[in-house]
Structure 1
Amino acid sequence: MRRRPESSSTAPDTSAKKSSGTSKTDEEAKLNHGIQIRTARRSGFTWLTLFAVIVYSSWAVYQYQYENLPVPLTAEQAGKRGFSEVAAMKHVKALTELGPHTIGSDAIELALQYVLAELENIKKTAHWEVDVEVDLFHVNVGATRLDSGMFVDRTIIYSDLDHIVLRMLPKYAPEARENAILVSSHIDTVFSTEGAGDCSSCVSVMLELARGISQWAHGFKNAVIFLFNTGEEEGLSGAHSFITQHPWSTTIRMAIDLEAMGIGGKSAIFQAGPHPLAVETFASVAKYPSGNIIFQDIFSSGVINSATDFQVYREVAGLSGLDFVYADHGAVYHTKNDKLKLLKSGSLQHLGENMLAFLLQIATSSHLSKANATVDDIQSSHDTAVYYDILGQYMVIYRQRFANMLHSSVILQSLLIWTTSLLMGGSTAAVSLAFSCLSNILMWIFSISFSVLAAFILPLISSSPLPYLSIPWLVLGLFAAPAFLGALTGQHLGYLVLKRYLSNVYAKRKQLSPAIQADLIKLETERWLFKAGSLQWLVLLVVGTYYKIGSSYLALVWLVPPAFAYGLLEATLTPGRLPKPLKLATLWMGLAIPILASAGQFIKLTTVIIGLSVRFIRHPGGTPEWLPSVGLSLFIAAVICLTLVYLLSYIHLSGICV
């Protein structure tokens, strides 16, 4: 019986070892090859295309939200009970032809006579069941002292002011005269302008509204008072004199103020409240709702050094209501260029149709008296409203109490997720988070530095200190481009620091080849940068919720969708799972809602700041020439750092930054 040679018995083992070694090497090679293929697809063209789509989408949102105005109606098309821009424009033309009409001038007397004559015609043609009262009210003397705003702690003495007051109510409902809605604007202008925007446009809208309301008021439960005041440009004296001296003022339960910080465009809610009844009613019936609490928060902060009659109604009389404002072409505000030819077609139709629908609804409401609660009571109960429109078609509105609960819920869930992730990831995750936050800090520092540096240099190389006033889109090249390059530079420096740290961590994992480790380090670094972007919005949400800032809803919008997209397509709490390239679908899904909800607002805010910049150069030598540009550059850098942080995290694997 032969014995099998030992070599034959050991051969299979050797072969198995060889096969096993080959299999392991092949597996690593396939893994390495797979990562390289997926990474190679991240070309510069990909992110450039994505960036272009984001910019174009933002521009499209802005155009639809703010440049999409209704078609003007003629008197025949509007009918006796509708609003006609063509008819209102005749009033604008007549008032602007008088030239500047300041207090004490002959032109202001002519303007008052024109308005008075138009109201007498409305009285003659009103519905037979409507009682129309016209009062030419003269104020001998008075004084105002406000507690906030640009006139804080200043005593303003006024005398010899004339106002025209129109009251409409049903003849057979005498109780209606005890509860009234005030609609107010001012006839006077500053000395340098004919005031097509500020505020002949508002006065003309009121005249056309009064004509339409005179055909509806027989069904009202409340009176409607139209106040055409003078003295607004002299320290809000007109509104103060009416609210403190006119006998009808005691019946007012809600105040609506129409104003302009430019000429034309959409007239949006500039301030609302404190009682939410007015803005809730407006949101439910307005055909083209426009308004955002962001503007109210900015104005309340004192950043914009201005004031409207609404401050008097709210502070002196304790009234709630709405403050509307035109803000297009802000650079012509209070200048000789505030002319009729700049008034964009459809502007008056937009405000008129919204106001007509609102007045018809609120004047028939039996809840008007509830809107007269004191400001302190409403604010202390957290019952103010958070409001913002979506594309100028829908208005989202909810109470501050609900906002606090919603934001607190999101904050707690976010903190729970972050805590769980850090506990499972251990010290490596904690340090990675710290370095990714460092990347965000560097992004802010470099973005602001680059943009502000451009703002300082601009007056030195330009014949005009503010060349972007006539061509607003110049700010893209002057400030947005440096801010973007600075943000990219700062974040890439943080990216390199984080990548170096992770290289030391992965170097301890001997089971992976150096090639695979290098790719995995890049992928994990990218994902930490994306998560750090959501963390900065979480911090803003916490701060906004703590101080009860209404516009903190923006932080919620920019936190939740990207976090949801990441959790659905990317996230895992398993530390051992290898990272993968950030999916393009994650960015699409995460950024779609934030862009839709806020792109128009950011662009509009930029145009408003550009318009306000002209105030700094009207008095040469009063302020440095670089000051308005620095303020604008800071705002643009902040917007870029906040909104493009997710996109920036996607760029570093493209090879462009290497």
Structure 2
Amino acid sequence: MRQLAVYSAIGNKMTGSINNEVHTVNFLLREVQKIVDEARTDLYDIQAEVQYSSGAFFLWSMAMSYDNVSNVVVKIASKNSTSVNYLLLNSHYDSEVKSPGAADDGVMTVIMLETLRVISRSERPLANPVVFLFNGAEEANMLASHGFITQHRWAPNCKALINLDSTGSGGREVLFQTGPNHPWLVKYYQQSAPHPFSSTVAEELFQNNFIPSDTDFRVFRDYGSVPGLDMAHVLNGYVYHTKYDNFQNLERGTYQTTGDNVLAVTWALSNAPELQDTAAYEEGHSIFYDYLGWFMISYTESTSIIINIVVSIAALVFIIISIYQMTTSTRSDTPKVVAIRFSIIFIVQVLAIVVSACCTILVALIMQGLGLTQSWYYKTWMTFGLYFCPMFCVMGLIPAAYIGWTKQRTNMKLNETISCFMHAHCIVLVLVCIVLTSLGIRSAFFPMLGIFFYTISLILEEIFRLLAKNSFFITIHLICQLLPFWFYTYLNYVFLVVFIPMQGRDGPDSSPDLLISGFIVLMTIHFAGFILPILHKFHKSKIFFTLFGVLTVIFIIIAATPAGFPFKAEVAAQRYYVLHTQRTLHYENSTTKTESGFYIQPVDTRYSELYDTTFKNAEPDSWTTENCAAEPYCGLPLYSGRWLDWKDSARWIHASPPDFPVKTELTPGIKQSIGDNKIRYEFSLKSVDRVVMYILPLEETKIINWSFDKTQLEEAHKPPYFIYHVYSLVEHPLDFWIELEHEAGNTAGPHFKLAVGAHFLYHQQSYTEEYREFLNSFPKWAYTTDWFASYESWIF
């Protein structure tokens, strides 16, 4: 923990800053040297170096470009090892704006150091070398990992990866991505990790963009074809990328728990024979999940198809047997009548599920319509009344109404009717499981588990019926539901802990209440469908279910009062990006327009809270609309491609200009014809270390080539084009060129609009007094990620 305290004390570590490129690099080199000095040099060779790389690639609708970003790279190998197949461990030591990065990703960095130290002193065999990559530009859109995997001499030898990151502040790390197509990696994790925490559901949610984050795993996979394990801390995501991500707020126990897992998995993978030829073990995806953190289950996708089908068929068979048994007792109905009765019950159960889901989603729409979104953001317990209760209410009331109406109209015993409702629910899950399996969705294991345990209860019931000549239906059913109930509620808790904080940064165009309510609907269907029918044994079950509906109304009222306000200072703050910005627009007729102001970019959907206070002097929505029509990307210095969908919610408040310590200078170079109706423009750009550029070809003009990554051109992306460039401790300018094809006779132009946005991310000492006062005007429950920027556009 001493290392983490020292790391955190360095402060903010933005790529390109002295803190990141000098102080943190020196800290890592000192710690590595201590490890080398104390290592078993008779057993191991350790090499350490600093890599500086420059390059380009495509990510998130942006042409990425970088110059001189840093990595600290360490390789440990057994003495005289001849293996050319390495295991790669990766974490990053840079951090986001204003954040010391203790959890993201400092704790993983020091865990890697400790893993290196333990290995260097151990007498255990190390069959293959291990490369420890401490990368210095993950938060800058994963530049340093690209620099390593495409340029470092050890990169071609890296055959498998353990990627370590964070989207919270410690706690247990979740394995949320594997492979792809390498199930042997999950096998070693399952066998070696003492504290497993993993889920295929998390993997599929992440890969379908339900999680507003990304990791270096993508770069290693896409640009190095390196399969691996992607793990991240997820607890307390409220402090993610804020100044509260510090040493004091880190969950204690994180270091030991994660360290145990990382060390064990590193030993296992470094000695895995599969490293010799990973391509030979490329056998499809894995299904994996842990049970309450006690143990882990994993199997291949092909095995899961067999399991899902067999379990589903078995469930249907024993349901048929159970229904048939209802026709053999004294005073029972005929098989035809029982079949009709069950068909009606099946329809009623489907209706209960559909109506309860619709009512729950309706509550979410009401909350959004009333401007009460995210009332559960800090008070997670609000989700119970708002979204669990309507599910419980309707899923219980509709069957209860049916049971009450048919009580005197059927020979079915109450237990048999309750059993039929459970059978119907199981058939619904069977249909869901089969559909998901046929679509190749690996999360089909989720309904399969409920089906499996319900089938076990049916089998046991038949056994007891034969042996004891009596029915122990309720007892057997409740016992068999314990394990799946714990599993589903455990995952439900994990989901809420992980996803609720994420909704505070999912964008102003998101629908957080719909997302949370939708997931609660899915979870509730799985764990409540086999539990709620038991309550029909009580005489006043309708009153009981009605109480859930009353609770929903009460919780909506609470959400409308100050008690339902979602944000809390320092603990669960509302996020805003605030950029003190100067805009300079150069027009075709040589005129120039310059204006300055505060560009505020909300990050969630509830930004109307500040309309009457902090935003009272903001320009109307028409300002944004007009600028979006006149300038590429509204003439705003967007920070990344993720802001492209947010720009329409931006607010602008006029203010005096910021003080720029570095001027942005764009110098046009040679303009020359390179063929029929084709022109090449050359430019030289000097600016701060983080710039974005927009290139918008004008009418009858087409960009055909440039010096940046060419993906946007080759895939015919719709302009304007977005370029993102990072300098790191270099003073030379960015020289680039653009080639275009124009309409015949339009040699003079104009041909395109070029805009440059410069971001001063760690220059707080240059803030104007007006800017400081504006930032202080935000309420204490709001958190600003702030810097100043310039935007300048030209027509060529």
Tell me the distance in 1 between the aligned counterparts of 2:320 and 2:477: 24
Partner of 1:466: 374
Choose from 606, 609, 613 the match for 2:499.
609
| 1:216, distance to aligned residue in structure 2 (A) | 2.8
- What is the letter of the counterpart of residue 18 of structure 2? D
Instruction: Go from structure 1 to structure 2 and tell me whether the alpha carbon gap of 1:426 and 1:159 turns closer, same or farther (over 3 Å shift).
Output: farther
Q: Deviations over 1:385-423 (max 9, x none)?
A: 222222323222222222222222223333444567779
Whether 2:276 is the aligned partner of 1:369: answer yes
| 1:347, distance to aligned residue in structure 2 (A) | 0.8
Choose from 213, 220, 244 the match for 2:119.
213
Tell me the distance in 2 between the aligned counterparts of 1:446 and 1:580: 36
Whether 2:429 is the aligned partner of 1:528: answer no
Q: Deviations over 1:264-317 (max 9, x none)?
A: 111121111221222211211222222122211221222223211111222222
Tell me the distance in 2 between the aligned counterparts of 1:631 and 1:493: 30
| 1:243, distance to aligned residue in structure 2 (A) | 0.4
Whether 2:539 is the aligned partner of 1:655: answer yes
Tell me the distance in 1 between the aligned counterparts of 2:168 and 2:48: 30
Choose from 35, 42, 51 the match for 1:137.
51
| 1:357, distance to aligned residue in structure 2 (A) | 1.7
Partner of 1:479: 387
What TM-score do the two structures reach when normalised by structure 2? 0.62
The equivalences for 1:177-188 within 5 A come to 178-188=84-94
- What is the letter of the counterpart of residue 77 of structure 2? L
Tell me the distance in 2 between the aligned counterparts of 1:349 and 1:300: 29
Instruction: Go from structure 1 to structure 2 and tell me whether the alpha carbon gap of 1:493 and 1:343 turns closer, same or farther (over 3 Å shift).
Output: same
Partners of 1:202 and 1:259 within 8 A in 2: yes
Whether 2:264 is the aligned partner of 1:357: answer yes
The equivalences for 1:55-74 within 5 A come to none
Tell me the distance in 2 between the aligned counterparts of 1:92 and 1:457: 46
Instruction: Go from structure 1 to structure 2 and tell me whether the alpha carbon gap of 1:467 and 1:100 turns closer, same or farther (over 3 Å shift).
Output: farther
Whether 2:63 is the aligned partner of 1:155: answer yes
SS at match of 2:41: coil
Report which of the two has the higher share of helix.
Answer: 1
Whether 2:296 is the aligned partner of 1:391: answer no
Q: Which has the higher contact order (CA 8 A, sep 6+)?
A: 1
Tell me the distance in 1 between the aligned counterparts of 2:440 and 2:80: 45
| 1:598, distance to aligned residue in structure 2 (A) | 3.5
Report which of the two has the higher share of strand.
Answer: 2
Partner of 2:509: 623
| 1:589, distance to aligned residue in structure 2 (A) | 2.4
| 1:609, distance to aligned residue in structure 2 (A) | 1.4
Partners of 1:169 and 1:218 within 8 A in 2: no
Partner of 1:102: 14
Partners of 1:254 and 1:319 within 8 A in 2: yes
Tell me the distance in 2 between the aligned counterparts of 1:226 and 1:479: 45
- What is the letter of the counterpart of residue 656 of structure 1? K
Deviates more, 1:475-484 or 1:93-102: 475-484
The equivalences for 1:547-558 within 5 A come to 547-558=439-450
SS at match of 2:283: helix
| 1:211, distance to aligned residue in structure 2 (A) | 1.2
- What is the letter of the counterpart of residue 378 of structure 1? E
Whether 2:30 is the aligned partner of 1:117: answer yes
Partner of 1:587: 477
Whether 2:357 is the aligned partner of 1:448: answer yes
The equivalences for 1:375-454 within 5 A come to 378-379=283-284, 384-417=285-318, 426-454=335-363
The equivalences for 1:509-548 within 5 A come to 517=411, 520=412, 522-548=414-440
| 1:546, distance to aligned residue in structure 2 (A) | 1.9
Whether 2:524 is the aligned partner of 1:640: answer yes
Partner of 1:276: 183
- What is the letter of the counterpart of residue 290 of structure 2? D
Partner of 1:90: 2
Q: Deviations over 1:416-445 (max 9, x none)?
A: 445677798754344334322322333233
SS at match of 2:15: coil
User: How many residues are matched?
Assistant: 529
Instruction: Go from structure 1 to structure 2 and tell me whether the alpha carbon gap of 1:475 and 1:653 turns closer, same or farther (over 3 Å shift).
Output: same
Instruction: Go from structure 1 to structure 2 and tell me whether the alpha carbon gap of 1:406 and 1:632 turns closer, same or farther (over 3 Å shift).
Output: same
Instruction: Go from structure 1 to structure 2 and tell me whether the alpha carbon gap of 1:389 and 1:104 turns closer, same or farther (over 3 Å shift).
Output: same
What TM-score do the two structures reach when normalised by structure 1? 0.74
- What is the letter of the counterpart of residue 353 of structure 1? D
- What is the letter of the counterpart of residue 348 of structure 2? S
Partners of 1:181 and 1:253 within 8 A in 2: yes
Tell me the distance in 2 between the aligned counterparts of 1:570 and 1:654: 25
Q: Deviations over 1:595-645 (max 9, x none)?
A: 2443312210121111211114xx6xx337xx2122112211221222111
Tell me the distance in 2 between the aligned counterparts of 1:434 and 1:257: 51
Partners of 1:523 and 1:580 within 8 A in 2: no
The equivalences for 1:189-268 within 5 A come to 189-216=95-122, 219-268=125-174
Tell me the distance in 2 between the aligned counterparts of 1:480 and 1:421: 31
Instruction: Go from structure 1 to structure 2 and tell me whether the alpha carbon gap of 1:642 and 1:219 turns closer, same or farther (over 3 Å shift).
Output: closer
Instruction: Go from structure 1 to structure 2 and tell me whether the alpha carbon gap of 1:278 and 1:352 turns closer, same or farther (over 3 Å shift).
Output: same
| 1:193, distance to aligned residue in structure 2 (A) | 1.6
- What is the letter of the counterpart of residue 234 of structure 2? A
- What is the letter of the counterpart of residue 532 of structure 1? A
Tell me the distance in 2 between the aligned counterparts of 1:370 and 1:397: 22
Tell me the distance in 1 between the aligned counterparts of 2:4 and 2:368: 38
- What is the letter of the counterpart of residue 425 of structure 2? G
The equivalences for 1:321-340 within 5 A come to 321-340=228-247
Instruction: Go from structure 1 to structure 2 and tell me whether the alpha carbon gap of 1:217 and 1:229 turns closer, same or farther (over 3 Å shift).
Output: farther
| 1:461, distance to aligned residue in structure 2 (A) | 7.6
Tell me the distance in 1 between the aligned counterparts of 2:533 and 2:414: 11
Partners of 1:259 and 1:326 within 8 A in 2: yes
Instruction: Go from structure 1 to structure 2 and tell me whether the alpha carbon gap of 1:453 and 1:192 turns closer, same or farther (over 3 Å shift).
Output: farther
SS at match of 1:271: strand
SS at match of 2:90: strand
| 1:342, distance to aligned residue in structure 2 (A) | 2.1
Partners of 2:9 and 2:100 within 8 A in 1: yes
Tell me the distance in 2 between the aligned counterparts of 1:122 and 1:459: 55
User: Equivalent pairs: percent with the same residue?
Assistant: 23
Q: Deviations over 1:477-524 (max 9, x none)?
A: 332223322322344345567x38x92xx4xxxxxxxxxx4xx36444
**What runs of 5+ residues in structure 2 fail to find an aligned partner?**
328-333, 543-796
Partners of 2:464 and 2:472 within 8 A in 1: no
Instruction: Go from structure 1 to structure 2 and tell me whether the alpha carbon gap of 1:440 and 1:315 turns closer, same or farther (over 3 Å shift).
Output: farther
- What is the letter of the counterpart of residue 287 of structure 2? V
Tell me the distance in 2 between the aligned counterparts of 1:292 and 1:241: 30
- What is the letter of the counterpart of residue 410 of structure 1? V
Tell me the distance in 1 between the aligned counterparts of 2:314 and 2:540: 36
Q: Cα RMSD (Å) of the superposition?
A: 2.9
Instruction: Go from structure 1 to structure 2 and tell me whether the alpha carbon gap of 1:473 and 1:636 turns closer, same or farther (over 3 Å shift).
Output: same
Partners of 1:565 and 1:586 within 8 A in 2: yes
Partner of 2:209: 302
Tell me the distance in 2 between the aligned counterparts of 1:171 and 1:530: 63
Whether 2:83 is the aligned partner of 1:169: answer no
SS at match of 1:386: strand
